[in-house]
Amino acid sequence: MAPHADSPDDVERLPAPPRPSMSANPPRILIIGAGSRGNSYARATGRSSNGVVVAVAEPIKYKRQRLGDTYIWGKAGSSEGQEFEDWKQFLIYEQERRTRAARGENVPEGVDACFICVLDEMHKEAIVGLAPLGLHIMCEKPLATSLDDCVSIYKALLPNLPNTTPSKIFSIGHVLRYSPHNMLLRKLLLEDKVIGEIMSINHTEPVGWWHFTHSYVRGNWRKESTTAPSLLTKSCHDVDLLLWLLCSPPPNSTHPAHIPTTVTSSGALQFFNKTRKPTAAGTATNCLSCPIEESCKYSAKKIYLGPQLKGLASGNTSWPVDIVVPEIEECIASGGPSAGVSAVTARLEEDYTSQTPTSEISAKNWFGRCVYEADNDVNDDQVVTMTWDNDPLPQPNSDNEKALAGRGAKTAVFHMVAHTKKICERYSHIYGSDGEIYADSETITVEDFNTGAKKIYRPHLAGGGHGGGDDGLARQFILAVDAVKNHGVGVEEAQKAHVGCSLEEVIRSHAMVFAAEDARKGRKVLDFPGWWRREVEGSLVQ
């Protein structure tokens, strides 16, 4: 259980960060991919940043028009340069627009930056394809689904390697860095040093028992061969968070990163497979034809239609219902609640047989499928352990304490677990030389060994996803773009001041995930610096 304050004096409540002032010529944003993440960033841009969403690229007409109606053109309908079927169509348009502008023609104003929110496996093609336009880019996590693709992106964005000076702002959707909770946690740990030197962290991501089935058994991220391991698609956030706390230097520090020494991992698909299927379910492969559907907690009817979770009967028409039927609100508006139920039910009834080609099965989601009969193969439980050795910086006066500040030996253990009541409400125990912290996504409780004092911090709980991280990331990325566009700030300075994360850090945190997977599959402990030199630096010079 989380500790509780003994009196109101032990609690510090912190206000929301202010919305930045709008510039006379605010950054203009293109959203590529109008799914749940694209809509989240469009909403965050309008609510928390000093930029404006001016265009959308999305192949599904309904999704494209819904985002445009809500955040761009309203009831007036789209005009030139505001909607595209995909990023390739936008690329052709933008090249032609620039050519026309160079001829002196009167053309619509272009965009300054884009949010790339297409499927994970499409990120590399979009980033590399758009690189010649010189736009500022924010890419939803993960950066790519393979290490080779991550390295290819690194080369495309920094074509003059080993010169690593960026020409444009680049950010990644590691939104956990930008929630008020985690920003305060990092300040307390690295700047205020409220528990002294960090000795170890135990960090857990509770995915949620039904959330895991939605996304990783029935949904987009169920197969490693078509997307990536669940450690990457679900938990690259968390690996990045740990490296941000334990590897990256504090703000305004000129010290190099404290690189982890070893990584190891274990995990498997433990539960969601045929060996766990109840005997009473018989040969049923779909919830709507299963004899034990009413008693099964994984019933698709309960999850997507029922009142107890976030089904349609609870009044919810957003995630996950709108993932099953993207046009659910339109169905209800035109035909009433019963039409919504019928639309969702029709999707849940979709099934495949032993004669259905594997390529067809992998190409779509089957949200009514029995969770024990699906074609999923990603881990539902995994542990990653990272260690650091003492790595002191040279000190002219041989001050050991200063030389080891933030660079002492330490350990981080991360646990991704599917079978939890909590839905992505991460929690951490952090142990230091002078105290310990319990952080649970809402509160941060500090226990001081020296004084015996206990203090609880309650950062502002922002709206939107990830405890305000969606809004925070959009705000900081667009602030960086604004600084470059309107205030004469250099790209590298704006990247550091506002985004707070370099492209090298992005590559490092993704590389750690791939290294952990190598360790898990090989049942070994990896020397991370050696692995990095071989797998990343070796690829960069090829």
Q: What's the average model confidence in pLDDT over 379-388? A: 98
Contact 469, 179 (CB under 8 A): yes
In the chain, pLDDT over 90 holds for what percent of residues? 80
- In tens, the pLDDT along 36-59 reads 999 999 999 999 999 999 999 999
Distance CA 176, CA 470 (A): 8
Tell me the one-letter amino acid at 519: A
pLDDT, residue 133, reads 95
Question: Would you place residue 393 in the very low, low, confident or very high pLDDT band (cuts 50, 70, 90)?
Answer: confident
Residues in Cβ contact with 81 at an 8 Å cutoff, skipping those fewer than 6 apart: 54, 55, 93, 97, 108, 110
Contact 194, 448 (CB under 8 A): yes
For strands 427-432 and 435-439, give the pairing: antiparallel
Q: What is the dihedral of CA 479, 480, 483, 484, to 10 degrees?
A: -140
Q: What's the average model confidence in pLDDT over 518-534? A: 97
Distance CA 26, CA 6 (A): 47
Distance CA 67, CA 530 (A): 46
pLDDT, residue 158, reads 85
pLDDT, residue 4, reads 47
pLDDT at 2 over 50: no
Q: Which sequence spans correspond to the domains of the chain? A: 28-175, 197-271+377-432+502-540, 283-362
Residues in Cβ contact with 43 at an 8 Å cutoff, skipping those fewer than 6 apart: 71, 464, 470
Range with lowest mean pLDDT among 18-27, 108-117, 194-203, 516-525: 18-27
Range with lowest mean pLDDT among 164-168, 383-387, 532-536: 164-168
For residue 314, the 8-state DSSP code is: G
pLDDT at 395 over 90: no
How many C-beta atoms surround the C-beta of residue 143 within 10 A?
26
| Residue in the structure block whose two tokens are 């309203």 | 74
pLDDT at 213 over 60: yes
pLDDT, residue 14, reads 67
Distance CA 93, CA 35 (A): 22
Give the closest residue to 227 by CA, choosing from 138, 340, 142: 142
Distance CA 138, CA 501 (A): 12
For 323, the enclosing helix (H) or strand (E) is helix 321-324
- In tens, the pLDDT along 484-505 reads 999 999 999 999 999 999 999 9
315 - beta bridge partners? none
User: In which order are the strands placed within the sheet that holds 52-57?
Assistant: 83-84, 52-57, 28-32, 113-116, 136-139, 170-172
What CATH number labels 197-271+377-432+502-540? 3.30.360.10
Q: What's the average model confidence in pLDDT over 111-128? A: 96
Average pLDDT, the chain: 92
pLDDT at 399 over 70: no
Asked if the bond preceding 15 is cis, omega within 30° of 0, the reply is no
pLDDT, residue 5, reads 45
Give the closest residue to 166 by CA, choosing from 493, 475, 537, 476: 493
pLDDT at 403 over 80: no
In the chain, pLDDT over 70 holds for what percent of residues? 95
How many C-beta atoms surround the C-beta of residue 131 within 10 A?
17
Question: Would you place residue 462 in the very low, low, confident or very high pLDDT band (cuts 50, 70, 90)?
Answer: low
> In this predicted model, which residue has the larger pLDDT, 121 or 251?
121
Contact 297, 209 (CB under 8 A): yes
pLDDT, residue 3, reads 45
CA distances from 70 to 42, 65, 448 (A): 9, 8, 48
Contact 91, 99 (CB under 8 A): no
What count of Cα atoms within 13 Å lies in the side-chain half-sphere of residue 58? Answer: 23
> In this predicted model, which residue has the larger pLDDT, 517 or 252?
517
**Is the Cα dihedral 277, 283, 285, 286 positive or negative?**
negative
Tokens of 518: 């190598």
How many C-beta atoms surround the C-beta of residue 148 within 10 A?
13
Contact 169, 508 (CB under 8 A): no
- In tens, the pLDDT along 83-105 reads 999 999 999 999 999 999 999 99
Measured in degrees and rounded to the nearest 5, phi and psi for residue 281 equal -75, -15
pLDDT, residue 353, reads 84
Distance CA 192, CA 436 (A): 14
Tell me the one-letter amino acid at 1: M
What count of Cα atoms within 13 Å lies in the side-chain half-sphere of residue 240? Answer: 28
Range with lowest mean pLDDT among 158-167, 168-177, 523-532: 158-167
Contact 468, 176 (CB under 8 A): no
pLDDT at 377 over 50: yes
Contact 111, 97 (CB under 8 A): no
Tokens of 531: 């692995």
Tokens of 20: 């930045």
| DSSP secondary structure string for all residues of 140-166 | PSSS-SSHHHHHHHHHHHSTTTT----
- In tens, the pLDDT along 231-289 reads 999 999 999 999 999 999 888 788 899 999 999 999 999 999 999 999 999 999 999 99
pLDDT at 334 over 60: yes
What CATH number labels 28-175? 3.40.50.720
pLDDT, residue 161, reads 72
First to last CA, the chain: 51
Q: What's the average model confidence in pLDDT over 362-375? A: 94
For 450, the enclosing helix (H) or strand (E) is none
pLDDT at 155 over 70: yes
pLDDT at 162 over 90: no
Contact 328, 343 (CB under 8 A): yes
Q: What's the average model confidence in pLDDT over 382-405? A: 83
Tell me the one-letter amino acid at 116: I
